[in-house]
Chain A
Amino acid sequence: MKKMINPIAALLMAALLALGLLAGGCESDATAPQDPAPALSEEGAATQAGLVAMAIVQVGPDMISFSEPTKQVYSRTFAGDISGTVYLDFRVGANGVPATWAVGNWVRMYTGAADPLIVTIGNAGGTAQLGLDVNAALNRVDSSAVVGGGGTFSTGPYSAAFTLTDLAIASAAGYPTGGSMTFTGAGYTITVTFDGTNIATVTVSGLGTWYVNLDTGVVSQTG
């Protein structure tokens, strides 16, 4: 069975075979589970939108009530169920020249690029992240604002984006008196409409109507 060949040739053949085995090796199948995130129900999407609405209601009035007369660069750090820092950029007119809080009649409120607000849920590490980039025309006479812009929302594997349309808020009143938020995520388009009460209406892309308590963020099918 044996044929004599040059030992150097044999070594070269072995080396070539080794290289071939290593370089041309076939990929192994994956063995660890790689499950997709649990599918989001319309109630789940409504709950996420409700959570964002609650957060906006808590943070938004700061665009009006914030007061630090001597500076032009402002930030506000929240603590509690909503924590983190937002930056306020006051201007004269929409995207106009920079102004102090006292002079400005337009403001942009935003979070750092990698530093969203953290919404704490429950007492055991439940969280959601809220990236904000909203702006408002300020009415200094009646201390109100009409808010636009939007932001991002994420919690675990879920993420979504939202935009505000003519959201009317006042520093004195606790709840937006008008306007809406459009929330888009996991294939759902959700519209949250505000009416000045602590209950906002959540419509899930024609699939159903829900109601969110803006004090607690709890979503239910009855207002």
Chain B
Amino acid sequence: MFKSLGRLTALGLLALLALGAVTTASAGDLQGEIEKVGETYARAYLAPFMYSFGPNLNSGIFHTAAIPKSRLTLDFGVKAMATQLNDADKAFQKTMTVDDLGDYSDDPAMQGVPGDIVMSGPTVFGDEDAEGSITGYVNGVQVFSNATIAGLISSSYSPMAVPQASLGGVAGLRLTVRYLPEIDAGDVGKVKLSGFGGSWNANSVMPTLPVDVMVGYFKQSFSVGTLVDAEATSMYLAASRSFSVLTLYGGYAKESSEMTIAYVPTDGSAGVSFTVDDGQESRITVGATLNVLAKLNIEMGHGDLTTYTAGLLFGF
């Protein structure tokens, strides 16, 4: 029994270390890229990442609505999420009419000249081999063009993985935590993840319900040094029904998320900080959990964005 628990713990630690390494490398690369551009470009470039981060965090919080009234349950493992990106999110185009093109060009001739700015190129999930550009126009004629940055990871999905553990079975309550020990990410700073929440199973007071029903709340925070600071919360209502080793579940959640990006551009201009907080506000979730030795769980959540989640959990 203790030998098995030791192996499970080792597996969990390996997953966390792998997660930390990926997060550290990605954060370093991301910071290195966006430091080359200003706020407006960074907002557009990072939009798919920033808008998918909250839906990812708010995924996979539960995998059943069944919580015993008086039998202890414990599970821990990893949830991996991937928010599907719209095909258009591989690239962006942001346009502005400005009073001074000199703010976007080193050419002295552009100082004080009004015109149009077109920022375009791959997003963070776009083409890794194609550079974007900031282009200035005066009366419909291109007067300057500056190359910017390429995509960081060419992908149709915004991925994430988090370690998760739950303890439940007292008065129909279950506590869930997500936690990543602080990992030093070098120049980027420290990577931190923490989240906690609780669920309550209503069958403890309404035992005649044909399915398990629960309500819950979950709050998370994630940061990478001073570069990324994110929070996400979810309030959910869920139902499930078990068939032998299979549990089917579904739910509805009201959720919110906020992400702040802060960095100092390499061109010596003032520090940049901006926040995205108008992301997905609700979702419906359907999923299934197969309980054979371990709990294998798949789920789809759909709101403004669609997020797929897979979980591998151990416990009893």
Q: Which residues of A contact B (CB under 8 A)?
A: 1-7, 10-11, 13-14, 17-18, 21-22, 25-38, 40-41, 43-48, 51, 121-128, 155-158, 186, 219
Evaluate contact between B286 and A124: CB separation under 8 angstroms. Answer: no
B269 proximal to A (CB < 8 A): no
Min CB–CB distance A195 → chain B (angstroms): 23
Contacts of A36 in B (CB 8 A): 93, 95
Q: Which residues of B contact A25 (CB under 8 A)?
A: 84, 300, 302, 306, 308
Residues of B within 8 A of A45 (CB): 140
Whether, in the assembled complex, B35 has its beta carbon less than 8 Å from a beta carbon of chain A, the answer is no
A176 to chain B, nearest CB (A): 22
A71 to B143, CA, bound (A): 39
Distance between Cα atoms of A46 and B141 in the complex (Å) = 10
Nearest B residue to A44, CB-CB? B140
Instruction: Indicate whether B216 reaches chain A with its CB closer than 8 angstroms.
Output: no
Is the Cβ of A31 less than 8 Å from the Cβ of B140?
no
A48: chain B residues at CB < 8 Å are: 139-141
A170 to chain B, nearest CB (A): 28
Q: For residue A128, which residues in chain B have a CB less than 8 angstroms away from its CB?
A: 141-142
Sampled A-B contacts (17; CB under 8 Å) = A1-B66, A11-B290, A17-B298, A18-B298, A21-B308, A22-B308, A28-B84, A32-B89, A32-B92, A33-B44, A34-B93, A36-B95, A122-B110, A124-B109, A125-B146, A126-B136, A156-B118
Q: A2-B242, A13-B246, A28-B306 are in contact. Are A155 and B140 (CB under 8 A)?
A: yes
Assembly CA distance A38 to B107 (angstroms): 22
How many A-B contacts are there with CB distance less than 8 Å? 172
B145: A residues at CB distance < 8 A: 124-127, 156
Known A10-B245, A35-B95, A38-B137; further 7 A-B contacts with Cβ < 8 A: A1-B242, A2-B244, A18-B298, A29-B304, A34-B88, A37-B95, A124-B107
Q: Which 5 A-B pairs have the closest CB atoms?
A: A44-B140, A124-B144, A124-B107, A10-B246, A32-B92
B91 touches A32 (CB 8 A): yes
Using CB atoms, name the residue of chain A closest to B157: A28
Q: Which residues of B contact A32 (CB under 8 A)?
A: 44, 47-48, 88-89, 91-92, 123
- A23 smallest CB distance to B (angstroms): 11
B61, CB-defined interface residue at 8 Å: no
Contact yes or no, B244 A37, CB < 8 A: no
B106 within 8 A of A: yes
B52 at the interface (CB under 8 A from A): yes
Partner of A27, one of B44, B86, B106: B86
Within 8 Å of chain A (Cβ to Cβ): is B59? Answer: no
Closest to A21 in B: B300
- Per-position binary interface string of chain B over residues 278-307, scored 1 when its CB falls under 8 Å from any chain A CB and 0 otherwise: 000000001110101000001110101110
How far, in whole Å, are A45 and B141 apart by their CA atoms in the complex? 9
Chain B residue numbers with a CB within 8 Å of A22 are 308
- Evaluate contact between A43 and B139: CB separation under 8 angstroms: yes
Q: Give CA–CA (A44, B83) in the complex, Å.
A: 42
Q: Name the residue on A nearest B85 (C-beta).
A: A28
